[in-house]
Structure formats: C-alpha cells, structure tokens
Amino acid sequence: MSHALPVSGDPHIQYRLDGAVFILQIDRPEKKNALTQGMYQALAVGIREAEASPDVKAVLLCGAPDCFTSGNDVNDFVQHETHGSERASVQFMKAMVHMRKPLVAAVNGLAIGIGTTLLMHCDLIYAAEDAFLQLPFTRLGLCPEAGSSYLAPNIMGHQRAAELLLLGERFPAAKAKEVGLVNEVLPAGEVMSYAMEKAKALAALPGEAVQTSKHLLKRQQTAVLEETIALELVNFSRLLNSEESQAILRAFLNRDS
C-alpha cells in the first residue's frame, strides 16, 4: 500500500491502489453515478495525485456494476451557477487532457454525457456487452463538452460523430467499438478484471517509455483541446441559460418515477 496517496475528498469517489494501478471509482449508484462538482473535484485531485506519485504507473477509472455514470448531475444544471473555467468539472477535463500516465476505463451499465465524452480522453476502454452510451446534449438543448466536438470527429469521422452528437440517441457498446471509441466489448462480469489486467500490463512496462509514448501520441491535441473546451464552455453556458434547455432539464427532475 502507498503511504503517499491521499483519501478522496468526496464520499462518492473512492481511491484505491492495487499494485501500481491507481483505481478511481465513481460510487453513487443510487443516483446512477451522476457527477456533482464535489465528485469532479475528487476525480481531478485523484488524477493529479496519481500523476505525482512514484507509486502509480497507470490509472483505472470505473463505476458501479450497473452504471459507469449518468453524466453531470442535472440538479447542477438548473441552479444557474456560473459554468466558467474555474469549475471542478472543467478542472477534471483539463487534468485528463494533460495526463501523462495511461488512463484505462471499465464501463458497465451506462455512460451518458460526460460519461461518454470522458472516454475520448482515455487510452484503453473496455465496455460490457449490455452497456449503452449516449451523448444526449442536443436533446437537452445543449452542445458537446469536454473537448468532444474535436475528439469525436477525430476518433470516428464527421458523419459518425454527427450521428451520435446531433441525434443524441443511445447506442450499444458494440457500436462504440465499431466507431473506435471502445477497445473491447466483454461480458459484463469480465469487464473490470480485464481492464485491471490491461492496466497492470501497462504498469509493468518501463514507465518513462509508456509516458513518453502517450505524450507523443497526444502531443498535437493538447493546445487544440484547451481551445475547444473553452469555446464549448461559452456555448454550453449560453444554451444552458436558455428557457428551452431549462424546461427540458426541469422536466427530467420533476418527472414522476
């Protein structure tokens, strides 16, 4: 066990070290792992601590057995707070953009909104065959975030990105693999162990070689991602303040369940 890693500052984000793999677990299953600003903060701090710790050589991001994350907590969207660059969610995005150590994701259940866009920053992604993903921004009266307006067409080409980002429909893990967003689709019960196996394989390699290689692979994206995230934020905030978007979001929160 490490003596260097801190305790998570949010009860819904767990930090764990398994060998040289730092596990960041989203743990708010009663709300389908919806992410609050406190949770983003703990995720951003976890990434920064993992980056700084000599004990860590790879990071594994996972959720609950039935949900990776349903995305941003919708309550947060209707509270008319600022959505500027100082927010913890943005700090989390930037921490991923600048990460040097490899980031592996294990996706079970569902990945909605930032649950899917954050995957575009990961290096290896494993998803359950019964999982679904969704980029529902336009359906909520919103636009892409987390750099996805740049990364999605870069990963899958314009038309496939447009299908997912403009229509905003749910899509299965198999389609995520087909468009290059997921490395492997596995039986649900095997996703976590397989992702851990791959994270450990990365962690067993010479660290400087892996980190330098990742840096070289992503080097051209860094500046454009910073710029894209800033531009997305301006538009996201504008749309979020529209009556149309607020009505859709309030309808979700006030629905009869």
Binding site for ligand COA (CB under 6 A): 31-32, 34, 70-75, 110, 112-113, 136, 140, 252, 257
Is 24 in contact with 43 (CB distance < 8 Å)?
yes
**Residue 24 or 140: which CB sits closer to ligand COA?**
140
Is 57 in contact with 99 (CB distance < 8 Å)?
no
**Residue 123 or 145: which CB sits closer to ligand COA?**
145
**Residue 103 or 118: which CB sits closer to ligand COA?**
118
**Residue 42 or 140: which CB sits closer to ligand COA?**
140
**Residue 108 or 183: which CB sits closer to ligand COA?**
108
Is 96 in contact with 103 (CB distance < 8 Å)?
yes
Distance CA 169, CA 178 (A): 16
Residue 167: CB minimum distance to ligand COA, A: 15
Is 67 in contact with 106 (CB distance < 8 Å)?
no
**Residue 22 or 68: which CB sits closer to ligand COA?**
68
The CA-atom distances, in angstroms, between 211 and each of 5, 68, 99, 105, 158 are 20, 26, 9, 17, 29
Distance CA 180, CA 17 (A): 29
Is 186 in contact with 148 (CB distance < 8 Å)?
no
Residue 6: CB minimum distance to ligand COA, A: 27
**Residue 35 or 50: which CB sits closer to ligand COA?**
35
* CB neighbour class for 52 (10 Å; exposed up to 12, middle 13-18, buried from 19): exposed
Residue 112: CB minimum distance to ligand COA, A: 5
Residue of minimal Cβ distance to ligand COA: 113
Residue 36: CB minimum distance to ligand COA, A: 9
Residue 152: CB minimum distance to ligand COA, A: 14
Instruction: For residue 125, give the DSSP letter.
Output: E
Amino acid at 150: Y
Tokens standing for residue 30 = 């009663």
Residue 156: CB minimum distance to ligand COA, A: 19
CB atoms within 10 A of CB 60: 27
Residue 139: CB minimum distance to ligand COA, A: 8
Sequence-separated (6 or more) residues with CB below 8 Å from residue 254: none
